[in-house]
Amino acid sequence: MGEMKNQQHIERYIIAAIILVGVAFVLWRGPSLQYSGMKLYFPKRDSQTLAVERRAIAPIGSLETKATEVVHELLLGPISRKLQPIIHSNIELERVISGNNAIFLDFSVKDVVSFSPEYSTFKHAIEESLRATIPGSYRIYLYINSNLSR
């Protein structure tokens, strides 16, 4: 009889330990698992690889409104000193249109020649940031001065 009580106590301790480990995991990883802010990608200061910067701004509204907010935050530049802006040229977001599982972003650039070398990083940062922040299945099309860019 005493041996049965000891076994029940051990089982209770094991169950309590499992529950405590579960609670500790949720407290430790919970905020990152439920993160609903923006995940913006900027080039690292020492290379052209992209790194994520999180902002506690949760975009709400239609797909167009969310995409507009993400792009505006990207154009503002990074907060961290370890990252650099996605573009050094003067660029503006003219309009965002969504439809047929696609987002169409039209930018205006005054000096296209100085923008050209940065375009690849710019495009990659826009695409990664939109996909990380706005869940869903959609294509992204970038237009520069109303011309479709590749």
Phi, psi of 20 (to 5 degrees): -65, -40
DSSP 27: H
Which CATH number describes the domain made up of 35-148?
A: 3.30.300
The distance in angstroms from the start CA to the end CA of the chain is 77
The predicted model gives 88-112 an average pLDDT of: 91
d(CA 143, CA 69): 17
Give the residue extent of every domain in the chain.
1-34, 35-148
The predicted model gives 122-147 an average pLDDT of: 93
Residue identified by tokens 């011309």 is: 147
Angle at 125 between CA 121 and CA 130, to 5 degrees: 155
Secondary structure of 40-92 in HEC code, one letter for each residue: EEEEECCCCCEEEEEECCCCCCCHHHHHHHHHHHHHHCCCCCCECCCCCCCEE
> pLDDT digits over 17-42, tens only?
888 887 877 776 655 444 578 999 99
Residue 6 has pLDDT above 70, yes or no: no
pLDDT-derived band of residue 145, with 50, 70 and 90 as boundaries? very high
pTM: 0.73
Q: Are 95 and 141 in contact (CB under 8 A)?
A: no
For residue 34, what are its two tokens?
């439920």
- pLDDT computed for residue 5 by the predictor: 63
